[in-house]
Chains A and B, each alone.
Chain A
């Protein structure tokens, strides 16, 4: 007889196997994630902080940062509203075509971002379907801010909805019914009951949405036209600097994006921890 506790549980592997698997995973992570990240910061600061700051203070770099922030400031709230409305609809009501809507929301995940950008060019470009009408009315969409915003919204619109739909479906409609029966109106139910129940999930979705909106390259690249100081977002600016062999500046701007990714990662971990409280039906 083995003493209780000395016998390994059925699901536990031998120590050597565990060590090997863990080591393999860590090596993989180090090679493909940590190492490139370290290189980014090393290259950025390779010629001293003065060069780093100068690269970031360049007018084109500042313009790229402003544009990226502006695009995110429009795209993220838009998708926050859309995501909320769509998940509310999907999770709390039954209607024909519901599955189709869920599939459509996932569409940007399955379509290459370059294709999404191209679609907007084909729709709104000079040779596009709506092109002549837009030109006649002096509306510029492609190769301008509206096109970049549209492409970014398209690429990032699943993030909030995908986070909220399962959460709201799990929580059910019990709390809302209770609030209604106590005399609350629709807006009161939403603000006082539904929103607090989903707040961490919502923040989580917004965070991921924002990270993607700021980092999106493919779709934006197609619609932007790469006009320096005008339609270059940060990721596009990094590419241009790199192609100009201006490595320090390229990596300096890239390090900002990498920094954003790290901050996102930390916030994501915090939110996942808080999200634990939102899951699990109507009872905590």
Chain B
């Protein structure tokens, strides 16, 4: 079956007094792989379950190829769902688990035994578990169970594949292997795929589009590179992590952050936030009005890089800078060293209320 376009419009969901989804609009193009990324409690799993038909939206619609999906029961939506804890049927062998979706079909549509056996064998090969069909789920490792869950979902040839934290319970090495494998699998099967994760590396590595969710809303949606380079809100910056967040005041096209003065985008005045990634702070030889000068108070090796925390006069919190190690080593950096840093890329956001505000800082107003 050809993949479908998923169209979510104005979906609202509440559990008791808690509004977990506050008006979600999301379009997933046919055959696309989309990640719902966000902290726990942001509503991403609820959204996935509503798309899959395991929950009903209180308001709003989910359409598959323009048709209201709610009109069909869960089993008739053509959705393959992979659960966070796999939900394998523990009293059935791996082969019976995979065959389940075929065996429960009405007699008229059910493939015959030979065809089912063939499908199971093909899927076992696809998920690289050949020869393990007779085992029980309890006899498999976490990564193997995850692949059985995938094979079981794929057995019914779903037009939409939904995965809830598919690699959440696995260790780092297995996760990495499996997510690349999932991407290849997606490219092979071509089903429209939505997966939920709280791991940004996972989302950014394999998704075509990343939807960042926070507090029941989608904060930003876009290609991974676009989201990373141009975060749309203070939340996205914070969530993607490691960005320095400087509070300052803008006036007449300039913004002051302690002793540093940067050119601010036109039209921005009053309290502002500036986000600068550690890697965008370039060490330079001397101080300057548009540079940060501070004393190294902390030093951390981060794999290939070196991260320095600097105490900068006039700024409340230390500023983090990161360089490739050889460059840092050449400069003989240690605690107490004074460094001068030139911001290579700055993103400004208005600072509502003047105080440090974690959410809803509004639209970005351009970079410097």
- Report if A60 contacts B (CB, 8 A): no
What is the number of residues of chain B that contact chain A, defined by CB distance less than 8 Å? 30
- Report if A175 contacts B (CB, 8 A): yes
- Report if B335 contacts A (CB, 8 A): no
Distance in angstroms between the alpha carbons of A179 and B91 in the assembled complex: 13
- Report if B204 contacts A (CB, 8 A): no
Contact across chains for B100 and A283 when beta carbons are under 8 A apart: no
Q: Known A281-B85, A282-B87; judge A179-B100 contact (CB<8 A).
A: yes
Size category of the binding interface on chain A: 20 to 34
Contact across chains for A183 and B76 when beta carbons are under 8 A apart: yes
B137 to nearest A CB, angstroms? 6
Residues from chain A with a CB closer than 8 A to the CB of B156 are: 182-183
A96 to nearest B CB, angstroms? 13
* A222-257 interface (Cβ within 8 A of B): none
Residues from chain B with a CB closer than 8 A to the CB of A196 are: 89, 91-92
Contact across chains for B104 and A182 when beta carbons are under 8 A apart: yes
Distance in angstroms between the alpha carbons of A193 and B152 in the assembled complex: 15
Cross-chain contact of B52 among A181, A184, A281 (Cβ < 8 A): A181
Contact across chains for B138 and A284 when beta carbons are under 8 A apart: yes
Cross-chain contact of A182 among B75, B86, B138, B145 (Cβ < 8 A): B75
- Report if A185 contacts B (CB, 8 A): yes
Residues from chain A with a CB closer than 8 A to the CB of B52 are: 181
Contact across chains for B136 and A284 when beta carbons are under 8 A apart: yes
- Report if B101 contacts A (CB, 8 A): yes
Q: Known A177-B54, A284-B136; judge A182-B85 contact (CB<8 A).
A: no
- Report if B90 contacts A (CB, 8 A): yes
Q: Known A175-B89, A193-B89, A281-B85; judge A182-B54 contact (CB<8 A).
A: no
Residues from chain B with a CB closer than 8 A to the CB of A18 are: none
- Report if A49 contacts B (CB, 8 A): no
Interface SS, A side: helix
Which chain B residue lies CB-closest to A284? B138
Cross-chain contact of B75 among A174, A175, A184, A277 (Cβ < 8 A): A184
Cross-chain contact of A178 among B76, B87, B91, B145 (Cβ < 8 A): B87
Provide the A171-191 mask, 1 if CB < 8 A to any CB of B, else 0.
000110111111111001000
Provide the A183-212 mask, 1 if CB < 8 A to any CB of B, else 0.
111001000110011000000000000000
* A146-168 interface (Cβ within 8 A of B): none
Cross-chain contact of B90 among A180, A188, A283 (Cβ < 8 A): A283
Interface residues of A (CB under 8 A from B): 174-175, 177-185, 188, 192-193, 196-197, 277, 281-284
Which 4 residue pairs of A and B lie closest in terms of their CB atoms, listed nearest first?
A284-B138, A183-B75, A182-B101, A174-B87
Interface residues of B (CB under 8 A from A): 52-54, 74-76, 79-81, 83, 85-92, 100-101, 104-105, 136-138, 145, 152-153, 155-156
